[in-house]
Amino acid sequence: MAWIVLIASGVLEAVWATALGATKGFRRPGPTVVFAVALTLSMAGLAYAMQSLPVGTAYAVWVGIGAVLTVLIAAARRQDKLTPVRAALLAGLIGCVIGLKVVS
C-alpha cells in the first residue's frame, strides 16, 4: 500500500510543480488552488509512505517520479524540448528509481 501511495504522491508532485509555473507568481487563483491542494496531498502521501519505507528510498522515488513527469508534461505542452539526450537521461533516472525499489 505504501508504494501505491508513494507513486500517487510522485504524480501529484508533477501536478503541483506544473501548477506552480502556471500561477504566474501566485497571481492566478485557479492554478494557485491546484498547486496548494496537490502540494498538500503530495506531502501527506510522502509522509505516509515514509512510515514504512526507508526515508532515502521513498524520497528518491518521489522526486524521480515528479521530475520525470514534470519534464514530460512540459514537453507535451511544448514548453520544453525533449531531445534524445534528455530522453536518455530521463530513462536513466527511471532506471535508478526502479533499482532503488528492487534493492529496498
Longest pairwise C-alpha distance within the chain = 44
Q: Which of 6, 9, 20 is nearest to 74 (CA)?
A: 20
Report domain extents, the chain.
2-103
Q: What is the pTM of this model?
A: 0.88
Retrieve residue 75's grid coordinates: 514537453
pLDDT value, residue 103? 83
Q: Using CB atoms within 10 Å of the CB of residue 26, give its burial: 0 to 12 exposed, 13 to 18 middle, 19+ buried.
A: exposed
pLDDT value, residue 47? 98
Average pLDDT across each block of 10 residues of the chain; the chain has 104 residues. List them in order: 95 97 96 98 98 92 94 94 93 88 79
